[in-house]
């Protein structure tokens, strides 16, 4: 199944995707992580993306789409994947639709106060991008990633001034995607209204939402084909 996790920065989409992807045996593709990897390796894409990322703006659509297209053409994506942080603009969504049909888009519906609190306490691994939180999700050893032993730090773009820009960019350019996928009939919402809800619990709600969606889809297919309910 090809899934899109939509949501503002700090809505938790990356944390939930990193928990759900291994359970489903599909890759978790974060365009933010891909850019950070390119930046670290000093590639042309990395150099192009640097200035945009540091100011909280979006990297131009063509650059992102080209990078994403290459990634989803890899062998490990043949049974599906989770997109985290892509698409982020209507043109990106339209270009994605020309490449492949997505099955479901899940919008992480999170109150603004929670987002701001989360981003101000977010830390992540410099190497693999795993996300932690100073409030309630610290790595087992301070400053060291549980997954890859990389260094856990606060990202430059999680500094307060940049966070404000990223939230503005989200409202202006990414939030319209909610209606885009609603109109396609593949949008579902998962709400978080309590900052203390553990990430594992939220990831479970996301999984249940996906399962419910799959069930509804199967029922619709049976209806169209005139098959009896399998009760
Ligand atoms: P977050 O979701 O927490 O804002 P990401 O790690 O997804 O952070 O992205 C970090 C930065 O990478 C963004 O602020 C933006 O500059 C760039 N970026 C990531 N994905 C995209 C995208 N789909 N389109 C344009 N820019 C992107």
| Residue nearest to ligand 1 atom 2, measured at CA | 9
d(CA 124, CA 130): 5
User: Per residue in 101-113, pLDDT tens?
Assistant: 999 999 999 988 8
Catalytic residues: 13, 88, 122, 155, 166
What is the Å distance from ligand 1's center to 164 Cα? 14
What is the Å distance from ligand 1's center to 98 Cα? 21
Counting from 1 in the atom list of ligand 1, the atom nearest the Cα of 57 is: 16
pTM of the model as a whole:
0.89
Each residue's pLDDT, cut to its tens digit, for the chain (231 residues) gives 999 999 999 899 998 999 999 999 999 999 999 999 999 999 999 999 999 999 889 999 999 999 999 999 999 999 999 999 999 999 999 999 999 999 999 999 998 888 988 888 889 998 888 889 888 889 999 999 999 999 999 988 888 888 888 899 999 999 999 999 999 999 999 999 888 888 899 999 999 999 999 999 888 888 888 866 655
Contacts of residue 4, Cβ cutoff 8 Å, sequence gap at least 6: 82, 83, 86, 87, 102, 104, 105, 106, 181
What is the Å distance from ligand 1's center to 187 Cα? 21
Q: Which residues are near ligand 1 (CB < 6 Å)?
A: 9, 30-32, 35, 52-53, 56-59, 64, 85-86, 88, 92, 157, 166
Tell me phi and psi for residue 82, to 5 degrees.
-110, 125
């Amino acid at each position: 199944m090809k899934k899109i996790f939509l949501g503002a920065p700090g809505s938790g989409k990356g944390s939930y995707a990193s928990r759900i992807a291994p359970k489903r045996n599909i890759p978790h593709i974060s365009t933010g992580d891909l850019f950070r990897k390119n930046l670290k390796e000093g590639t042309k894409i990395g150099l192009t993306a640097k200035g945009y990322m540091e100011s909280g703006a979006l990297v131009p659509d063509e650059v992102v789409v080209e990078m994403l297209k290459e990634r989803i053409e890899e062998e490990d994506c043949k049974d599906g994947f989770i997109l985290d942080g892509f698409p982020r603009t209507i043109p990106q969504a339209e270009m994605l639709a020309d490449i492949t049909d997505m099955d479901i888009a899940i919008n992480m519906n999170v109150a603004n106060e929670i987002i701001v609190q989360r981003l101000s306490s977010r830390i992540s691994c410099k190497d693999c991008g795993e996300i932690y939180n100073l409030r309630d999700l610290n790595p087992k050893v301070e400053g060291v990633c549980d997954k890859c032993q990389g260094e856990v730090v606060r990202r430059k773009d999680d500094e307060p001034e940049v966070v404000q820009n990223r939230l503005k960019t989200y409202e202006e350019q990414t939030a319209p995607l909610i209606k885009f996928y609603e109109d396609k009939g593949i949008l579902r919402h998962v709400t978080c209204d309590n900052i203390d809800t553990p990430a594992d619990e939220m990831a479970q709600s996301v999984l249940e939402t996906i399962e419910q969606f799959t069930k509804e889809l199967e029922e619709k297919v049976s209806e169209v084909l005139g098959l009896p309910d399998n009760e």
